[in-house]
Amino acid sequence: MPKLLHVDSSPLHGRSVSRELTAAFVTQWKSSHPHGLVIDRDLNTTSIPPITAEWVGAVYTPEEARTPEQKQLLSLSDSFLSELEEADEYVFGVPMHNFSVPSVLKLWIDQIARVGKTFSYTDGTPKGLIIGKKATFILATGGIYDAQTQMASFNFVEPYLRALFGFLGVTAATFLTAGGTMALNHGQDRDTFLAPHLQAVQTYAQTL
C-alpha cells in the first residue's frame, strides 16, 4: 500500500495558497492511488518546542541508556521520524516567510534532523539515511523569485530545502512554486490566479 505524508506549514488555513495546492495534490494522489494512505501533519496545530540542551543530550545518549525523561523529550521527534519512515512519498506546503521557511517548519526540521536516524557520518563523510523517498515541495511566495529575476537571490526557501533534504538522503525532490501571491491582497481574482497552479500540481501528481 503506497503512503503519502502530507505536511502543511502555513498559518493562514482557509486563505492559504500553499494549503489549497497541497489539498489538490492529495486529491489527485488519492485518485491515482485508490488503495493508498495519506498521513496528514499540520504543523500549525502541532505544538513543537524548540531544541534544548536536554533534548540534544537525549539524542546523543545511547538509546538503551536513556532515562524515562529523555525518552519523553524525544517522543515527538520519534513520532515525526516514524511518519517519515512509513511514507513512500512526501508533499510539503511551504509559504515563504521573510525569504525563508515558516518557523514551524524549521522547528519540525530540527526535530527530524537526527544523527543516527536521518543522517550519519562515516570517517567524517555525511550519509543521508532517508532513502528511496520522493518529495514534492509546493511553495507560495508573495513576490516573484524565479531564476533570472531581480529578486532571485532573496529566495532561500528552495535552496535550503533542497540542500537539507538532499543531506538527509531525499534527492528525488520536485519544487512547484506559486509566485506573486501578494496580488491576491490587491484585487486579483483568487480563482484566476490559482487556476494555472492547480493545473500544474494536478498534472504533476498524476505522474506519481
Domains of the chain, start order? 3-206 (3.40.50.360)
Q: Residue 62 contacts by C-beta under 8 Å, 6 or more apart in sequence?
A: none
Position 205 pLDDT exceeds 90: yes
Closest Cα to residue 176, out of 138, 134, 135? 138
Residue 176 grid coordinates: 512547484
pLDDT digits (tens, 9 = 90+) for 46-93: 999 999 999 999 999 999 999 999 999 999 999 999 999 999 999 999
Residue 74 grid coordinates: 524525544
Banded model confidence at residue 192, pLDDT cuts 50, 70, 90: very high
E-strand stretches of 21-179: 37-42, 89-95, 119-122, 125-128, 134-141, 172-179
Average pLDDT of the residues of the chain:
97
Look-up of cell digits 492511488: 33
Give the whole-number percent of the chain exceeding pLDDT 70: 100
Q: What is the pTM of this model?
A: 0.96
Banded model confidence at residue 123, pLDDT cuts 50, 70, 90: confident
Position 126 pLDDT exceeds 90: yes
Distance in angstroms between the alpha carbons of the first and the last residue of the chain? 14
E-strand stretches of 48-168: 89-95, 119-122, 125-128, 134-141
Position 36 pLDDT exceeds 90: yes
Residue 169 grid coordinates: 538522503
Secondary structure (3-state) at 185: helix
85 sits in which H/E element:
helix 75-86
